[in-house]
Amino acid sequence: MPGHAIEIADLAFHWPGHAVPCLDIPHVCVEARERLFLHGPSGSGKSTLLNLIGGVLRPERGRLRVLGHDLPALAPHARDRWRADHLGFIFQQFNLLPWMSALDNVTLPCTFSPRRAAEATRNAPLDGEAGRLLTRLGLPESHWRQPARRLSVGQQQRVAAARALLGRPELIVADEPTSALDAELQQAFIDLLLQETAASGSALVFVSHDRRLAAHFDRCIGMTEINRAAAHGG
Amino acid sequence: MRTRAILRIARLSAFSRRSTLVLTLAAIALATALLIGVERIRHDTRQSFVQSVSGVDLVVGPRTGAVQLMLYAVFRTGSATHTLRWSSYRALADHPAVAWAVPLSLGDSYRGFPVLGTTPDYFAHYRYGDKRSLTLRAGRTFERPFEAVVGSEIAKRLGQTIDSRLLLSHGAGNDLLPEHGDKPFTVVGVLAPTGTPVDRTVHVSLESITALHLDWAGGAPLPGVTIPPELATKFDLTPQEITAVLVGLKQRSDAFRMQRFVNAFRDEALMAVLPGVALDELWDTLDIFERALRGISVLVVLVSLAGLVATLLAGLNERRRELAILRSLGASPLDLFLLLACEGLLITAAGAAAGLLLVTGAAWWLHDALRGAFGVELSTLLPSPDEAWLLATILSTGLLASAIPAFRAWRMALADGLTPRQ
């Protein structure tokens, strides 16, 4: 396992048809198991950066190593495969397939990643591991087999977190996962997420526009600090 | 493993949108039922026609269309406009190449069922299906005037059993036609079912037909003249005119020679048709209608599949989030293409299956009615190879049509990445 979860140097990206670059990042490094809080206003390139880290977009130039893999060098289908194996995503809301049960949503990554399926079933059957994560994240068992759309937003985010954690991916990327939650639920969710990523040994990149949430993270950086395009372009 | 998972996701996703998809599915089901139904009726009608005539080498009648002659002489639909003389029949029957010749006299009816005047030879020589001969389920064949042998369908529908009485009507038809009310017939025999027009026919002797019309002239009773049945039998009841003749030859190879003999017959204008040739001519005539019907059914199927494409495309925008979630879990754009294609195929397959069920149910339901009214025996069994081929075509067209929304999903996946632009 290499020492860095994410290594960015001299990275540039701009959307086709746009004159100004969207990202121009001289240098960023995230250590393995590090919990990073990344903040920035909307339009500062957060989503684009996450798409690059997820291997969905490809940078124009620069160095982008995630978990030791040189992403730009991989073919698109290999990046999809890599993402399935090593990354867990949590989005702002509507994370789940609403017509699937909570439990099925949690085990969904195994559909696309045999590696995570193998990891998740090392000690217990798949549903057992999914249930263990749901229990740790505080979703009562009576809700496990309900369709995801019947759950409250807070419950849905817990299911999403359990899904991201299933099979211990090395990197969890959370994109404003608490912005749809009530204030009192936000901190509780973040504490749970920090605790569980630590337990599974994953690194965490937590993106939010709200700096007040940064308290318990190892490090806090702003998009405007690392992205020259955002700093100049406003 | 992965394809199975995608299929499962497609199934669950489609099921969650069942309220909108059920209409699309119903449209595909109805279109499939129409296409298969048209095909089945076409096939079964032909089958029924082919079944009705077997072992007859020539059908002879007054000069008319070959198809028309077949239609009334064998299938008992349509009506004879001319007759042929008894002397011509005798000449034909005495011809050295002829093994047997059965005279047919049509024109009367019983409650809409055709009445056939013939000789007992008819029961000996008529063959249907795979050269099977007629058998009596009850009673005997007619021996005297005013005795009738009825087909199984008549017996079943009207409850006619041995010794019941029939009052015949003059002409092919309905209740308004004058009845031969003064000369009732007695049922002496009921035939076993054959699945041919025989089931819908009342068979009587030629002499009965002559006796019925002794006091008639020009299609109406002679005013002031009534000849009661007991007197009628005292007359010479040899018919003067009949409608058609079924001919069996000693050697089938004589068919063309015999046909020339009949067509060149001197005393009156006659024609002879080979049943197989006449049937081919009939198929040619029906072909245009069949093609038109089939063309319409194909269009209806295409319209229903266009509906499927429209529904899937319309739903795609609301599903951008769903596609982005799958993408974040590692689904490739190709996976999402497959997801949509599977969904389209699933709906098409479910629709086609429902359509097949519908048409089988309808065939089962209408089976008796169609046999009674037209003598068409619908097969209610599994789809024939032709139908299987049609179903396969519907499925592959459905899959092809689903490629449109699937391609759109693929494009969306590339454009949206993990964060769909709403």
Residue-wise pLDDT for A47-64, tens only, equals 889 999 999 988 988 999
Q: Which residue in chain B has the smallest CA separation from A92? A: B419
**What is the spatial distance between Cα B314 and Cα B275, in angstroms, rounded to a whole number?**
56
If one compares B236 and B35, the residue with the highest pLDDT of the two is B35
Provide φ and ψ at B14, rounded to 5°: -65, -40
Provide, rounded to the nearest whole percent, the portion of chain B with pLDDT above 90.
40
**Complex prediction ipTM:** 0.90
| pLDDT of residue B50 exceeding 60 | yes
| pLDDT of residue A2 exceeding 60 | no
Tell me if residue B80 falls in helix, strand or coil.
coil
**What is the spatial distance between Cα A55 and Cα B13, in angstroms, rounded to a whole number?**
26
Residue A69 within a domain: no
Instruction: Give the number of A-B residue pairs with CB atoms closer than 8 Å.
Output: 72
Mean pLDDT of chain B: 86
**What is the spatial distance between Cα A207 and Cα A222, in angstroms, rounded to a whole number?**
10
Nearest to B12 among A51, A100, A114 (CB): A100
Band (pLDDT 50/70/90 cuts) for residue A204 is: very high
* Residue A12 per-residue DSSP state: E
Give the total number of structural domains in chain A. Answer: 1
pLDDT, tens digit (0-9, with 9 covering 90-100), for B174-224: 555 667 777 888 999 999 988 888 988 999 999 888 888 777 766 667 776
- Averaged pLDDT, B4-13: 88
pLDDT of residue B376: 66
- Structure token digits, residue A92: 């702002």
Write out the H or E segment, with its range, that includes residue A9: strand A4-13
Write out the H or E segment, with its range, that includes residue A206: strand A203-208
Q: Ramachandran region of residue B101, left (φ > 0), alpha (ψ -120 to 50) or beta?
A: beta
State the best of B329, B336, B338 to mutate against chain A, taking most chain A CBs within 10 Å: B329
- Averaged pLDDT, A81-99: 90
**What is the spatial distance between Cα B172 and Cα B111, in angstroms, rounded to a whole number?**
9
pLDDT of residue A220: 93
Provide, rounded to the nearest whole percent, the portion of chain A with pLDDT above 90.
45
Hey, how many other C-beta atoms are within 10 angstroms of the C-beta on B249? Answer: 19
Tell me if residue A108 falls in helix, strand or coil.
coil
Verify whether the Cβ–Cβ distance A109 to B330 is below 8 Å: yes
Provide, rounded to the nearest whole percent, the portion of chain B with pLDDT above 70.
92
Band (pLDDT 50/70/90 cuts) for residue B52 is: confident
* Exposed / middle / buried, residue A32 (Cβ in 10 Å: 0-12, 13-18, 19+): middle
pLDDT of residue B165: 85
Q: What is the DSSP string of A135-195?
A: HHTT--GGGTTSBGGGS-HHHHHHHHHHHHHTT--SEEEEESTTTTS-HHHHHHHHHHHHH
Instruction: Name the interface residues of A facing B (CB cutoff 8 Å).
Output: 47, 50-51, 54, 56-57, 76-77, 80-81, 83-85, 87, 89, 91, 94-100, 108-109, 111-114, 175
pLDDT, tens digit (0-9, with 9 covering 90-100), for B78-119: 777 788 999 999 999 999 999 999 999 988 888 888 899 999
**What is the spatial distance between Cα A116 and Cα A165, in angstroms, rounded to a whole number?**
10
Hey, how many other C-beta atoms are within 10 angstroms of the C-beta on B82? Answer: 13
pLDDT of residue A1: 46
C-beta of residue A60 within 8 angstroms of C-beta of residue A14: yes
- Averaged pLDDT, B352-368: 87
- Structure token digits, residue B331: 């689904």
B residues 74-133 lying closer than 8 A (beta carbon) to A? none
pLDDT of residue A233: 45
- Which pTM does this prediction carry? 0.77
Provide φ and ψ at B71, rounded to 5°: -60, -45
pLDDT of residue B381: 61
pLDDT of residue B177: 61
Domain that holds residue A155: 32-58+74-233
If one compares B397 and A180, the residue with the highest pLDDT of the two is B397
Any idea which residue has 């058609």 for tokens? B244
Nearest to A56 among B5, B12, B327 (CB): B327
Residue A64 within a domain: no
Q: Which residues contact B156 (CB under 8 A, 6 or more apart)?
A: none
Verify whether the Cβ–Cβ distance A111 to B5 is below 8 Å: yes
C-beta of residue B142 within 8 angstroms of C-beta of residue B148: yes
- Domain CATH code at residue A131: 3.40.50.300
Residue A10 within a domain: no
Strand B220-221 to strand B165-166: parallel, antiparallel, or no bridges (unpaired)?
A: unpaired
pLDDT of residue A174: 92
